[in-house]
Structure 1
Amino acid sequence: MNRSFVALGAILGMLYVIMGAVSDHVVHAEVDAHLFRIFNIALRFQIDHALGLIAIGLSAAHIGRSRWLSAAGWLMFAGTAMFSGSLYLIVLTGFNGLAVITPFGGSALILSWLLFVIAIVKGPAKA
């Protein structure tokens, strides 16, 4: 098990709950439907990838240490921070200049899943 990725996934899960409360109690009343939808896309991606990080961390117990798995985990964490973080900041600050970060985060997330697949396929399974 890679405790770092499990812990990062749990932290993202905790932040998901906090940001969900912010969405329901603050954002919903302050922004239009389009921005509220964007905020909720960020939420969905955050929880999906929090669980992905936990899966990566737990997979290490079965396939052992792997550069592929480590790269997948760090890219997933960074991609989540860039993707969801930029969307949160766009909605909360109104600064649309941050939108240039969002596609890099999305690309990092796609690549992280690809690296996760490679790690699983290449890694030796423990009996």
Structure 2
Amino acid sequence: MSSVFLLLGALSALTGVGIGAFGAHGLKSVISPEMLTVYQTGVTYQMWHALGLIGVALIRLQAPDSKLLHWSGWLMFAGIVLFSGSLYALALLNHHWLGMITPFGGVCFIASWLLIALFANQNIRSSDHNSRYK
């Protein structure tokens, strides 16, 4: 399953670069500066979380059966779709009700990072426990 998150991370980064370039070069004269900032926020979060997905894929190599990492990856991808996707749609369509979707993506991002922290904490506790009994 780690290869799925590697693929999703790579595709998210690929589309993030393309969407970012489109925004920087094609939208300057089409949408307001305020909406361009909204659009750029979507790109920024998409790129950071694309890297996060690649990180989840790499961490899963050492713990392929981790449910925490499994759900973290899916929540991170859902966050990209909901958070960044809603900001792109908001900026391009100027339908402000789309902004109501964005917080759900933000919650997915937060939950994803929390699961990674819980995974790390489990590993710290496990290694501390194992080192005491060697």
TM (norm. structure 2) is 0.88
Corresponding residue number in structure 1 for 2:99? 99
Cα RMSD of the aligned pairs, angstroms, is: 1.5
Equivalent-residue separation in structure 2 for 1:73 and 1:115 (angstroms): 9
**1:79–1:105 Cα contact (<8 Å) kept:** yes
Q: Does 1:38 align with 2:20?
A: no
What does residue range 42-61 of structure 1 map to in structure 2 within 5 Å?
42-61=42-61
**1:63–1:120 Cα contact (<8 Å) kept:** no
2:44 maps to amino acid: R
Unaligned runs of 5+ in 1: none
Equivalent-residue separation in structure 1 for 2:30 and 2:116 (angstroms): 38
Matched residues, number: 125
- Corresponding residue SS for 1:29: coil
Corresponding residue number in structure 2 for 1:65? 65
Larger RCO: Structure 1 or Structure 2 (Cα < 8 Å, ≥ 6 residues apart)? 1
2:98 maps to amino acid: L
TM (norm. structure 1) is 0.92
Corresponding residue number in structure 2 for 1:2? 2
Corresponding residue number in structure 1 for 2:130? none
Equivalent-residue separation in structure 2 for 1:118 and 1:41 (angstroms): 27
Equivalent-residue separation in structure 2 for 1:28 and 1:59 (angstroms): 39
Runs of 4+ in 1 over 2 A off after TM superposition: none
Deviation of residue 95 (structure 1)?
1.2
**1:72–1:113 Cα contact (<8 Å) kept:** yes
* Structure number, greater radius of gyration: 2
- Corresponding residue SS for 2:65: coil
User: Cα deviation per residue 1:22-81 (whole Å; 9 max; x = unaligned)?
Assistant: 102221111121111111110100000000000001001123310000010000000111
Corresponding residue number in structure 2 for 1:76? 76
Worse-matched range after superposition: 100-109 or 113-122: 113-122
Deviation of residue 120 (structure 1)?
2.4
Corresponding residue number in structure 2 for 1:108? 108
Equivalent-residue separation in structure 1 for 2:62 and 2:22 (angstroms): 37
Equivalent-residue separation in structure 2 for 1:70 and 1:28 (angstroms): 39
